[in-house]
Amino acid sequence: DAKTTQPPSMDCAEGRAANLPCNHSTISGNEYVYWYRQIHSQGPQYIIHGLKNNETNEMASLIITEDRKSSTLILPHATLRDTAVYYCIVNYGGSQGNLIFGKGTKLSVKP
Amino acid sequence: DGGITQSPKYLFRKEGQNVTLSCEQNLNHDAMYWYRQDPGQGLRLIYYSQIVNDFQKGDIAEGYSVSREKKESFPLTVTSAQKNPTAFYLCASSVDPGPETQYFGPGTRLLVL
């Protein structure tokens, strides 16, 4: 089972920042937090990942709380093309290395 | 450009028929994975391969088979034993097995006639 809890849906106005929360209260010390997104009928796309420190790349920023029990993905200037399901993942299924996806958050960016 | 390709985009299966989904990657990745996605759900692992000529069952392997004869190829066969095959199938790869970033193909949608 997924070890994360995300809101099922969120709305964001185009051009504004989108802040997507994720709770992972049972995360282990060596587990990374990964974020992926899936645009309708396409394969998931990697966004960002982190362990303890906040991370930023060309797509987004990841803020992880000091106790590592929750995190927030920030899309600084959301566009209509950012409309997708966003998945927060912290569980790798042990030696399998697979990603365990929950149901994610459906982000709708509106004009 | 490096990436993962899956074909076909849509596939139709008749009752009692085996069908094979193709997955090819030119990223020189050792690990490859097959996931199944049902409407409104997350992804579930079918099979994975950590290296050429080796593969293991995932959480929902029944009714499926795979091979890994080449590093770049990891085809999935949906057999007649899979009674509910209608789903979106996704292939992924990573440099190594374990907590590595995975890169996904565009997916194949399988429909039963």
Query: Which is nearest to B104 in space by CA: B11, B34, B9, B19?
Result: B34
List, for residues B20-68, the tens digit of each pLDDT value. 999 999 999 999 999 999 988 888 999 999 999 999 999 899 999 999 9
- What is the model's pLDDT at position B112? 86
| CA dihedral of residues B19, B3, B103, A43 (deg, nearest 10) | -60
Q: Which residues of A touch B41 (CB under 8 A)?
A: 103
Q: What is the pLDDT confidence band of residue A67, given thresholds at 50, 70 and 90?
A: very high
Q: Residue B13: pLDDT above 70?
A: yes
Q: By the 8 A CB rule, do B36 and B44 touch? A: yes
- What is the model's pLDDT at position B86? 94
- What is the model's pLDDT at position B4? 95
Percent of chain B with pLDDT over 90: 72
A-proximal residues of B, 32-51, CB under 8 Å: 33, 35, 40-43, 45, 48, 50
Residue B109 burial (CB count, 10 A) = 15
Average pLDDT over residues A78-93: 88
* Residue of A98, A101, A103 to mutate when probing chain B, most B C-beta within 10 A: A98
- What is the model's pLDDT at position A96? 61
C-alpha distance from B107 to closest chain A C-alpha (Å): 6
Please give the distance of CA B23 from its chain centroid, rounded to a whole number. 7
Instruction: For strands A105-110 and A9-13, give the pairing.
Output: parallel
- What is the model's pLDDT at position A17? 97
C-alpha distance from A13 to closest chain B C-alpha (Å): 24
- What is the model's pLDDT at position A93? 54
B105 → chain A, closest CA residue? A43
